[in-house]
Amino acid sequence: MSGTKTSLTAALKLFGDGTRLRMLALLKGEELTVGELTRALDLSQSRVSNHLRLLREAGLLAERHRGTTCHLRLAANPAADDMLGRIWQGLDGELEHIPEHSADLARLARILAERADSQAEFFNQLAGEWDYRAGDFASGGGRTRALLNLFPRRGAFADIGCGTGYMSLPMLGNVNELILVDSSAGMLEVAKQRLDSESRGTSLDFREGDCTALPIDDGVLDGLVAGLLLHHIDDLSLAVSEMFRCLRPGGSAVVLELAPHNQTWMRAELGDLHLGLEPRDVAAAFERAGFVQCTLDAVDDRYRPSSPSGEATDLSMFLFRGTKPAQ
């Protein structure tokens, strides 16, 4: 039905099924695999797959493939068809009133917690060897460029998704307070061992937490950096919105990120969810969050993680900066 007009009868039939409405209510807020959606709905996969087929054909779903796994979310512009679009607009605000929705959300919360725990455990196991496997750069110039966008300034700053502290090291002595956030306790421990003895007067605060729900109060940061983080994050927009929330008016967020590449081994070996990111997608997320004075720069540096085969990798990066509007 995508790209064609849908009759009123067909549109009402599509939206008239309670299971399909439950699916849309969940996918409206989260990107989920078919397996996760099946568990959240507490239904058989065959039953779910049949409903998904109809929703796909109607243009209501967007897909992202990672290996053999399909990730689903509500399409950015659900249903190009006028009839479907008008009915969807009327339904959108009513989905939370579906009788099964509360139970679906409770199951979904458990699934998302398991997902976060699994990802954190993955990085806990890699923490001790992360710098050896994924800490090599051609020159380190990318980090320098990122930090020059913030300095010379003093105040409260954060390194979001700090890993083992690579981005934080040159900030020591240049900021009054530095909050380091990572979802992996193992990574934070390595960062603490690396940085504590070299703090040079900077107050260090290590916090375990999800980058899409930062353990930082509203409006307390003068600036933040996120080095090679966003390609590990499912929800790019939520992560950037959290950065915006934590900044004071006039504060800046600086992101160093990988450009798109074809090193598929990095998914399994380094936990990458995306093979790099398109700069335009990062720019769109910053603009949606409310950032202004956004700038994109090329980086005269290359990322060189160690592949399992020993084959040399040489990946390009870019730098993106946005500022929270001053009051």
My answer on whether 43 and 89 are in the same domain is yes
Residue 104 belongs to some domain of the structure: no
My answer on whether 45 and 174 are in the same domain is no
Residue 134 belongs to some domain of the structure: yes
pLDDT at 1: 37
* pLDDT of 79 higher than 70: no
Residue of 235, 227, 242, 322 whose CA lies nearest to 283: 322
My answer on whether 32 and 85 are in the same domain is yes
| CATH number of the domain that residue 51 is part of | 1.10.10.10
My answer on whether 12 and 153 are in the same domain is no
* pLDDT of 76 higher than 80: no
Helix locations, the chain, DSSP H: 8-15, 18-27, 34-41, 45-57, 82-92, 101-126, 130-134, 141-148, 185-195, 236-246, 265-270, 279-289
pLDDT at 153: 64
Residue 121 belongs to some domain of the structure: no
pLDDT at 141: 65
Residue % of the chain over a pLDDT of 70: 88
Please calculate the CA angle 190-191-195 and round it to the nearest 5 degrees. Answer: 125
Residue 276 belongs to some domain of the structure: yes
My answer on whether 196 and 310 are in the same domain is yes
pLDDT at 5: 65
Residue 116 belongs to some domain of the structure: no
Name the domain count of the chain: 2
Last residue of a domain, one of 49, 78, 99: 99
Q: Round the average pLDDT of the chain to a whole number and report it.
A: 85
pLDDT at 84: 77
Q: Range of 247's domain?
A: 128-323
Residue 245 belongs to some domain of the structure: yes
Comparison of pLDDT for 152 and 261, the residue scoring more:
261
Residue 105 belongs to some domain of the structure: no
Residue 286 belongs to some domain of the structure: yes
My answer on whether 171 and 252 are in the same domain is yes
My answer on whether 85 and 26 are in the same domain is yes
Overall pTM surpassing 0.75 (yes/no): no
Q: What is the average pLDDT across 172-181?
A: 92
Lowest mean per-residue pLDDT among 175-184, 200-209, 260-269, 283-292: 260-269
Please calculate the CA angle 219-223-227 and round it to the nearest 5 degrees. Answer: 125
My answer on whether 190 and 315 are in the same domain is yes
Over residues 202-226, the pLDDT tens digits come to 999 999 998 889 999 999 999 999 9
* pLDDT band at 270; cut points 50, 70, 90: confident
